[in-house]
């Protein structure tokens, strides 16, 4: 008998039939004598629909009310899973984030978990209940509901697995695991048996939608293994865990892409101290996260500064940058909304020369223009036109195929 912590994503609980499927999977675990703690996301696109609804009423919904509103999506699915289990003859109870003891800081819509008091969960387990926890939510010191940011149910699940001392956190979704590239673009993409936290974190941050980056980070800090698998089958799965020996490290583990990218260029900026601060401070204050930043070497005391933001932030970002650019004496500002990022990720790239060259060659052979390039120790990212992203992912997958095979 073990303690099992599972999480089911929105697509796995999208309708009554799928909820019944989730309940029978939980019942199976319970029937085998395990203690079951199960985190659920909101059904299907509920969160998006609730956000849309709020914006139909007001431009800038009140933060506190918004978090309460969004938390209801997960409460709905948790109750339905619990009911369904009971109907199958199993004892079950649903708990909100508050009831589950998930305490957070006070940042609405992106709260961080500060502590978990799992006593209530333990008591319910002792009573023989399967415990179904509404994901993505907690409570702050004012006893107000907070939410953990989009995809936050993953974070709830990993945090609970850590707090309860589970040996693994199981994340069930609509794909069979983590793939070497998006299988919708690359039919030959292979499922990875295992992947290290660091690589998974880069893949998730650079567009692999399978897991929320924050949850991977949390798993890494506490060394909680995370298994990602399909809720529709018993096959496959990818284990995210601590890397094995150095020798077994993958060169390139996967290719990620992200189409939510816009570029802003500030052209003809005076090359003097303080300009970058004047540009980026107001963006930070407006909570706009800036990703790639490139500044050219100055010529004749003039330079260009280019950076990227999420496409969803570009209108706001331009409205901030334009007046600042005028004030510092830049020639002009231009924006381009239809860009994408493609990234190759692998711990084995560090200390192995030639990866960037191979990536650029693969893109050149497809006649894909690279607009910006950024790197970390284990990642190379190119920013390209969105219309070429599928071709780019395919070409890169082909160019690095040999290395995925080593990883199986």
Q: Which residue has the tokens 């109870």?
A: 93
Contact present, 119 and 163 (Cβ < 8 Å): no
Q: Segment contacting ligand ASP (CB under 6 A): 146-154, 180-188, 295-303, 365-373?
A: 146-154
Identified binder of ligand ASP from the candidate list 6, 11, 12, 47, rule CB under 6 A: 47
Q: Which residue in 272, 283, 274, 331 sits closest to 307, CA to CA?
A: 283
46 versus 347: smaller Cβ distance to ligand ASP: 46
Is residue 110 a contact point for ligand ASP (CB under 6 A)?
no
Q: Which of Mg ion, ligand ASP, none sits in contact with 136, Cβ below 5 to 8 A by type?
A: ligand ASP
Beta strand 130-134 with 35-40: parallel, antiparallel or unpaired? parallel
**Residue, CB closest to Mg ion:** 10
Is residue 152 a contact point for ligand ASP (CB under 6 A)?
yes
Q: Segment contacting ligand ASP (CB under 6 A): 147-155, 222-230, 268-276, 320-328?
A: 147-155
Residues numbered 71 to 90 that lie near ligand ASP (CB under 6 A) are 73
Phi, psi of 262 (to 5 degrees): -130, 150
Identified binder of ligand ASP from the candidate list 64, 150, 316, 358, rule CB under 6 A: 150
Q: Smallest distance, Å, CB 224 to ligand ASP? A: 17
278's CB contacts (< 8 A; 6+ apart) are 324, 327, 328
Q: Which of ligand ASP, Mg ion, none sits in contact with 35, Cβ below 5 to 8 A by type?
A: none
Residues numbered 8 to 27 that lie near ligand ASP (CB under 6 A) are 10
Per-residue buried b or exposed e for 266-281, using 16+ beta carbons within 10 Å of the residue's own CB: bbebeeeeebbeebbe
167's CB contacts (< 8 A; 6+ apart) are 2, 225
The C-alpha atoms of residue 176 and residue 237 are separated, in whole angstroms, by 5
Is residue 42 a contact point for ligand ASP (CB under 6 A)?
yes
Q: Smallest distance, Å, CB 122 to Mg ion? A: 27
Q: Which of Mg ion, ligand ASP, none sits in contact with 206, Cβ below 5 to 8 A by type?
A: none
For residue 106, what is the DSSP state?
S
Helical H segments across 226-309, by residue range: 275-285
Contact present, 303 and 267 (Cβ < 8 Å): no
Which residues in this chain contact ligand ASP in the complex, by CB under 6 A? 10, 41-42, 47, 73, 135-136, 150-154
């Amino acid at each position: 008998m073990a303690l099992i912590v599972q999480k089911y994503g929105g697509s796995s609980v999208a309708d009554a039939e799928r909820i019944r499927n989730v309940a029978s999977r939980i019942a199976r675990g319970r029937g085998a004598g395990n203690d079951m703690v199960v985190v659920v996301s909101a059904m299907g696109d509920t969160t998006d629909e609730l956000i849309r609804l709020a914006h139909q009423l007001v431009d800038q919904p009140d933060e506190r009310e918004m978090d309460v509103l969004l938390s209801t999506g997960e409460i709905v699915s948790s109750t339905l899973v619990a009911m369904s289990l009971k109907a199958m003859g199993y004892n079950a109870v649903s708990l909100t984030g508050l009831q589950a003891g998930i305490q957070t800081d006070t940042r609405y819509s992106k709260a961080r978990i500060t502590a978990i008091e799992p006593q209530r969960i333990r008591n319910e387990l002792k009573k023989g209940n399967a415990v179904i926890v509404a994901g993505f939510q907690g409570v702050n010191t004012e006893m107000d509901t907070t939410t953990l940011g989009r995809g936050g149910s993953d974070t709830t699940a990993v945090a609970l697995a850590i707090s309860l001392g589970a040996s693994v956190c199981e994340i069930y979704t609509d794909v069979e695991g983590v793939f070497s590239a998006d299988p919708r673009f690359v039919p030959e993409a292979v499922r990875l048996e295992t992947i290290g936290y660091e690589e998974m974190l880069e893949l998730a941050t650079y567009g692999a939608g399978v897991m929320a980056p924050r949850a991977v980070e949390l798993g890494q800090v506490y060394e909680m293994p995370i298994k990602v698998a399909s809720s529709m089958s018993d096959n496959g799965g990818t284990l995210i865990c601590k890397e094995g020996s150095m020798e077994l490290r993958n060169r390139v583990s996967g290719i990620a892409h992200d189409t939510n990218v816009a570029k802003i260029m500030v052209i003809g900026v005076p090359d003097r101290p303080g300009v970058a601060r004047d540009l980026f401070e107001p963006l930070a204050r407006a909570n706009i996260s800036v990703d790639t930043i490139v500044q050219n070497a100055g010529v004749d005391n003039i330079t260009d500064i280019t950076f990227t933001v999420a496409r969803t932030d570009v209108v706001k970002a331009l409205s901030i940058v334009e007046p600042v650019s005028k004030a510092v004496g830049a020639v002009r500002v231009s924006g381009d909304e239809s860009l994408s990022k493609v990234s190759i990720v692998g711990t084995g790239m560090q200390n192995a020369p030639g990866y960037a060259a191979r990536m650029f060659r693969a893109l050149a052979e497809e006649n894909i223009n690279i607009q910006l390039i950024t790197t970390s120790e284990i990642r190379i990212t190119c920013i390209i036109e969105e219309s070429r992203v599928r071709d780019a992912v395919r070409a890169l997958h082909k160019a690095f195929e040999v290395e995925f095979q080593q990883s199986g």
